[in-house]
Amino acid sequence: MAKQKPTPFFQPYFTADLKAPYFKAKSFEAVIKDQNNRIYFEKHGVKAPEHWSQTAVDIAASKYFRKSEKKENSIFALVNRIVAGLTTAAQSSKLFSSAKEIDSFINEISFHLLNQSAAFNSPVWFNCGLHETYNVSSNSHHFAWDYKNKKVAEITDAFKRPQCSACFIQSVDDSLESIFDLVKTEAKLFKYGSGSGTNFSTLRSKYETLNSGGTSSGLISFLEILDKSAGAIKSGGTTRRAAKMVCVDMDHPEISEFISWKMKEEKKAHALIAQGYSAELDGDSYHTVSGQNANNSVRISNKFMQALEKNKIWALKSRLNGKTVSEITADKLWKKLCEAAWHCADPGVQFTDTINKFHTCKETAPINASNPCSEYMFLDDSACNLASLNLVKFFDNAKPGDEKFKVHEFLLTVKTFILAQEFLVDYASYPTEKIAQNSHDFRPLGLGYANLGSLLMQMGLAYDSDHGRAFSGAITAMMTGMAYYTSSELAAKLKPFAGFKKNKKSMMGVMKLHQKALKNIQWDLLPAAYKDICSNIWSEVIVMGEKYGFRNSQVTVIAPTGTIGLVMDCDTTGIEPDFSLIKRKKLSGGGQIKIVNQSVKIALENLGYSVKDRDQILLQIEKGEDFIAGPILKSEHRKIFFTAAGTTQTGDDVLSPDAHILMMAAVQPFISGAISKTVNLPNTASEADIADVYHKAWRLNLKAVAVYRDGSKFVQPLNRNKPEFPACTECGSPTVLESGCYRCLNCGTTTACSS
């Protein structure tokens, strides 16, 4: 009797009947010019899929092409390089039963990267496949999983086992050695394009003594050292600016100083600017002051919020013995927090009890901190590689009604990228042995999505509507459910992550919290099939998890998707709504024109407007006229076209802060990690308005939130229709605010963060 062939774990879908290169190529002239029309980057004859925009080609070529390798001169070569590394990772995983199955998997990944339907985080684009494709090396001491000897080992070539994770969380102990070790490991991360976050509450305050009998120099003094280090790395790096998060618990004796730190430093910068020094971010004023190279967040407990509501005294505790160092009313500390955020959009807030309620590995240790953008929250000394799906690519305007969003294709793509991210865990290297070990033992992943705002508009759904929130919650539940289901399939095939057995009770408890949250979605607003799909997926997750466990401790986050969002030609990033209905389109060879977002035209078509009416509305938007209150647009459709900044002169089309918070609340219950999101506030917003946002975020069980009051940073003059944010530090072009970061649409650089 012939031996039966094993059923392949992976079956191709998008490329089952296709042959590479999948898309017709077009030659682009990739040119990026600065504000003085000088060439910042130039590469001729860049081959790319013809559907890619000039912006996507320019940014991918300038940011991700390996500059010293002449062969890397096309988007196709870039993708081939990435999947060459991923092929090694897939082979090492031992998941697939044949070379043919690996090829099928790699073909699907190539298709999605070229189709712009999904993208890995930037470190994968920077580093993955350099050794396999060009045999280049980078002499740097890192740590990686030794497949042969089944243990973490030190490596000396950071391209043979590349850094692939964007997000790191690191611990720090109350010692000089630990503090300066952190400086070193942060430098390694920044060099290869990643970001790092740390909770510094372990450091004793300036109000506490040293073992020698003297007094500590305090928390802020050491934060200033780390801030300057990050500034130096970002100046000398070849990839992008350093990304850093500083967290401090609300009961630290120096919490008042920490809350006010950036606000006071901003005032110093303003004073220097008033004396004629440069107001640019890399100019003399901001270069002189501290605290500009990190996001700051305070960690707030339910106990503090309850003390606030009851107007109680709040104790600040010694880091040495836990005894009370001083006391302050919770209300006074809260007002100081909101005042600082009003002045300089910093610090943001993280709600520690909510975070740890959804923590899958409670038995190992609590979650103390996050990555720089607050979406990855997990154990100290851990890392997470991210990937994001472009939701608009799963929208087919030609299909009828409920079929427009291609659920089946969406879920298949979720599975494909969870597999890819899982392979990268052990293939990648890490800056410390402890991070490498935790990455192997817990295997956290961060799959998310981009372009939600554009998708909702194209579907004719208002961002600020029950229908929009129901749809967003449902597709997020589908994504995370499918990701955990795939992770359980992997556990059955390979085995669960090493920390699962110890944490099975807490992890299954979190799975049931996700499942329970399904009842809060307004299913009556959605296609009937959506409820069945979500219910079935999550039922299977519970059954499979109990039987096989999970391969990964976490699977999803909602990241900012800044640079990769531009490479995927997304109009909106992460979970954000449209910022404005007007966007800038880049022209070949340099220059830009302003156009109306493509989503508007598609939305009007789906809503049944005639060609004549559509053209008239588009013309009104282009001219900045108040089309919202005009005679053509129906009153019931007006909210569909509200944006974060507004487009009309009247400003009646600006989304309220509640619109941002409520969308986060609809999505957060179905995300393993958190949501990178900025709540936009008008310049006229008060400190009380900021307090209201923070308080609602806690009440709605959000894990973290940041605010940005228009005009509150970098002393830019207020102009609502033409917001002037910091100039790009690379090419000098204007930036836009996206998910809390100032992003250059000209060259793709992240210039700074608003919080």
- Distance, in Å, from the CA atom of 686 to the CA atom of 25, rounded to the nearest integer, reads 52
CB contact set of 527 (below 8 Å; sequence gap of 6+): 402
Amino acid at 533: I
- Distance, in Å, from the CA atom of 106 to the CA atom of 138, rounded to the nearest integer, reads 26
Q: State the chain's maximal CA–CA distance in angstroms.
A: 90
- For 66-113, the DSSP string reads -TT-TT--BHHHHHHHHHHHHHHHHHHHT--SSHHHHHHHHHHHHHHH
Q: Is 371 a catalytic residue?
A: yes
554 and 672 in contact (C-beta within 8 Å)?
Answer: yes
Mapped to the 3 state alphabet, what secondary structure does 11-41 carry? CCCCCCCCCCCCCCEEEEEEEEECCCCCEEE
- Distance, in Å, from the CA atom of 430 to the CA atom of 145, rounded to the nearest integer, reads 9
- Distance, in Å, from the CA atom of 417 to the CA atom of 456, rounded to the nearest integer, reads 23
Backbone Cα Rg of the chain: 25
Phi, psi dihedral angles at 244 (to 5 degrees): -150, 140
- Distance, in Å, from the CA atom of 251 to the CA atom of 352, rounded to the nearest integer, reads 12
Residue recorded with tokens 């039966």: 4
- Distance, in Å, from the CA atom of 502 to the CA atom of 414, rounded to the nearest integer, reads 27
Q: Which of 115, 293, 371, 746 is catalytic?
A: 371
Measure CA 711 to chain center.
Answer: 23
- For 613-648, the DSSP string reads HHHHHHHHHHHT---TTSSSS-GGGGGGG-BSS-SS
729 and 281 in contact (C-beta within 8 Å)?
Answer: yes
Q: 3: burial class by Cβ within 10 Å (0-12, 13-18, 19+)?
A: exposed
598, two tokens = 């493509």
- Distance, in Å, from the CA atom of 237 to the CA atom of 192, rounded to the nearest integer, reads 8
**Closest CA relative to residue 706, chosen from 693, 722, 720, 717:** 693
Q: Which of 128, 167, 247, 373 is catalytic?
A: 373
Q: Which of 265, 375, 489, 576 is catalytic?
A: 375
Distances in Å between the Cα of 121 and the Cα atoms of 21, 58, 93, 564, 731 are 23, 18, 21, 7, 23
CA dihedral 279, 282, 288, 294 (to 10 degrees): 110
Q: Is 375 a catalytic residue?
A: yes
DSSP state of 728: P
Element (H, E) at 48: strand 39-49
**Pairing of the two strands 382-390 and 167-169:** antiparallel
Q: Is the peptide bond before 347 cis (omega within 30 degrees of 0)?
A: yes
105, two tokens = 């998997």
Active centre residues (catalytic): 371, 373, 375
